Each structure stands twice: as structure tokens, then as C-alpha cells.
Amino acid sequence: MRKLFCSLICMVFVCSRLTASAFSPDFEKTEVKRVMKNVADWQIANFSKVPYSPGNWVNAIMYIGMFDWGKMAFEQDKNEAYLKFLNKIGSRTGWQPEKRMYHADDICVSQMYIDLYRFYGKKNPNMINPTIARTDWVMAHPSRNSMDLNYRDGRTLERWTWCDALFMAPPVYARLYNMTGDKEYIRFMNQQYKDCYDHLFDKEEHLFFRDANYIERKEPNGKKMFWSRGNGWVLGGLCQILDELPAKDKNRKFYEGLFKELCGTIVKLQQPDGYWRASLLDAESYPSPETSGTAFYVYAFAYGINHGLLSKEEYMPALQKGWKALVDAVDPDGRLGYVQPVGEAPKKVTREMTELYGPGAFLMAGCEIYKMSK
């Protein structure tokens, strides 16, 4: 009898953990800040357990979201702790990108370097010199290798041959273009981006394949395989690019058009519980929530509304549902669950799963939601 009682208590605890939220999803500034602070604090408190090198792309996504949050915390509360955390990372890496010269993932961390450099008044060129050296070398020696990704041939990773790359690298070039006015950065970015777009964007479904290996693959329901986080990478990257391009810049037209087209597709694929599933066109095969893709979509919708790119009337209901879903996935200690592990295709997800890019996207989304909150 006692064992049965204990089992029932455990079941109640587990169920309450899965259904009850410790945070409010209301669009109120105090509530948005509270959940963001808890998510950011949990990441910093557990950062010593991270198995990746400091400049690895998995970490870099968290840094980008952490910068947005840290900037807000400093401006609102004069709390510089989060920016100091990022400065320590930069000092630890020597402000260097990762080692592979062409690989998009290995320059993602430079987004954070450039953001910190600009925030602190452009006083320390050592924060960006290695990034400029890397990008200038790549532009001077552009790869001409195949756009068909093949992991057995490393040369096919020299181009932006997978849709994740559209978050990792283009925003670095957009930042440098905005900061320096050097048109070589935007020319290179435009060409490489459009090569990827031409190769991986499906004009029937208005979504990106993850890479060329998935163009012919089908889900169990017979529909094409479109990975949620993969398309989230693209939309998140578009927010970053558009944020750097001046309103009258002639280069905006393509990126604004693609942003609106993708959002118009994604908003229709949200599930009743507010999440998007790991596979966008086969939710039944992947019934569990997935927060990394969801966070990028919430970020994109909030960014689009805030910047007059999306209709508030059309997108606000999905934004509110998506934010509530994300907040429900945050444990009382600030840990974000239901984050699909590192991969390249839809997989099943559990609440216990987390990775740094999930909270990074969550913080990006939260900062945009804060701007529209009361």
C-alpha cells in the first residue's frame, strides 16, 4: 500500500511538471523579463558542463541570444553580468572564429564578437580583427565546390550547402557590411545566399530542405521532409540580416520577400498546443513538442510585427500561442525542455532534452516580445 501511495505521488509530480508552468506567458514586461532571466541564469550556472569548445556553433547561438538579453538587462537595470560573461568567452577564445576556414558553423561565434565590439563603442579592434581576416580571406578565395552536401567529401561543406548555414554565416557578413560600408561583404553574402536558396528552397511548399540529401525523402505520411529547426535557422538568420540592412538598402527586397513568404507558410503549420513539430508536414509522426524550431518562429513573428513586416492581426494569435508553449516548456529552475538534440532531420523529442541553441533562440524571441509588452 505504501509503495502504491509513493508511486501515485511520483505520478502527480511528473504530470504537474509536464502541464503546469512556473511562469506566466502574459505579454507583460515584468513577466517576460522574469522567465528570460531564469533561462539565462540557468545557462550560465550550467555552462561548465557544456561539452563543446567555447567557439562552437552550438554555444554561439546561445551567445547571440544572451547578448540580446544582456544588452536589455544592462539598459534596463544596469546589470552588466551577462555581457561580462560573454566578454570572458571572447577573451578565452582570443576573439577567434573556429578553425575551419570556409565552414559556416565556424564563424557563427563572430556574430557575438561584432555585437560586443559595437556595444562597447568600437574601442577594441582585437575583438573583430580575426573575423575580418577570416571573411576577407574567404571572399578573396571563394570556394567553387559542389552545392550537393556529402559528409564524406569535406569540400562540399565549404559552401552554404545546408539550410542551417543561412543562420551561421550570412549575419556575420551583414554585420560587417553595415559596420564598414564595404559592399564586398554584401555582394559575397548575396551570391552565396542565393546559391543556397536556388538549391534548397522548394517553391511548391515554400520551405527549405535541410540539404540536397533530403530533396527526395518522404515522411511516413508520404509528404516531403521539412525539418522544423532547419527552417527556423533560416527565419532566425533573416531576422539578423534584416536588422543590419538599412531601410532603403536595395539589398533588402529579396530578404524581406523571403521572410514574408516563409512566415506565411510557417504560421499555417502551428499545432493546436502552440508548438511546431520536428517535421513540419508530418506532425503525427512526431507528436511531441519541439522548442528550438518553435522559438525561432516566435522570434521571427515578433520581429516581423515589431518592424512592420508582418500583420499584427494575422500573426499575433500564433505568436501568443507560441510564446505560451515556450514558457510552458521552462522548468522552475529556468531549464528549457523539448529541445531536439544536434542533428539534421526530424527526430522524436522529450521534455528532458535541452541544448544551448534552444535557450539562445528563446532569449532572442523574448527580447522581441518584451518590446511589444505592456
Catalytically active residues are 164
Tell me how crowded residue 40 is: count the other CB atoms within 10 A of its CB: 26
208: three-class secondary structure by DSSP:
strand
Q: Contact at 8 Å (CB) between 359 and 336?
A: yes
With CA atoms as reference, report the closest residue to 371 among 328, 314, 312, 321: 312
Residue 361 grid coordinates: 533562440
Instruction: Measure the CA–CA gap between 25 and 273, rounded to whole angstroms.
Output: 14
Kindly report the length of the chain: 374
With CA atoms as reference, report the closest residue to 109 among 70, 135, 81, 84: 135
Tell me how crowded residue 140 is: count the other CB atoms within 10 A of its CB: 9
Residue 158 grid coordinates: 565549404
Q: Where are the beta strands (DSSP E) in the chain?
A: 201-202, 207-208
44: phi then psi, degrees, rounded to nearest 5: -65, -40
Q: Which helix (H) or strand (E) holds 201?
A: strand 201-202
Residue 94 grid coordinates: 582570443
* Residue that the C-alpha cell 560573454 belongs to: 86
Rounded (5°) CA angle 64-201-136: 50
Instruction: Measure the CA–CA gap between 274 and 124, rounded to whole angstroms.
Output: 43
Q: Where are the beta strands (DSSP E) in 231-271?
A: none
Instruction: Measure the CA–CA gap between 25 and 325, rounded to whole angstroms.
Output: 8
Residue 231 grid coordinates: 527552417
211: three-class secondary structure by DSSP:
strand
